[in-house]
Amino acid sequence: MREKALRELINYRMQRAEESLEEARVMAGMEHWNACANRLYYAAFYAVSALLVKDGLSAKKHSGIKALFNRHYIKAGRVSKEKGRLYNRLFDLRQEGDYMDFVSLSAEEVAPLVEATADFIESIRLLLETEA
């Protein structure tokens, strides 16, 4: 991929991360916790996808993205284990809230993750900038 196209794709994915985070905040304000968890996951997912594409990595499934992130960034020490646990937690909450019957996520489970996800996205942004 050409350098300019790569930068545009990374910027696009980071923009999607920010938009999804804003959508999560709206859902939190409305106390729609399943939807909030979904948008938080996608906010982190887009940021992770930007990081992966920068390094020429991709996967077709969300589980593959998670595996690549864990292998190339968490285990390699480029991203903290705490941030890795957050991403894995968001992945699990989204799976529960979107696909399991009779699951109603609570404010106690999801609300603290809003700012944690904002911090996650910022740390990915800094990693993208420092490793550019």
DSSP type of residue 118: H
pTM: 0.95
Task: Decide if 87 contacts 44 (C-beta within 8 A).
Answer: yes
Contacts of 98 (CB under 8 A, 6+ apart): 34, 38
**Percent of the chain topping pLDDT 70:** 98
Contacts of 96 (CB under 8 A, 6+ apart): 37, 103, 105
Question: Which CATH class for the 3-130 domain?
Answer: mainly alpha
pLDDT of residue 131: 74
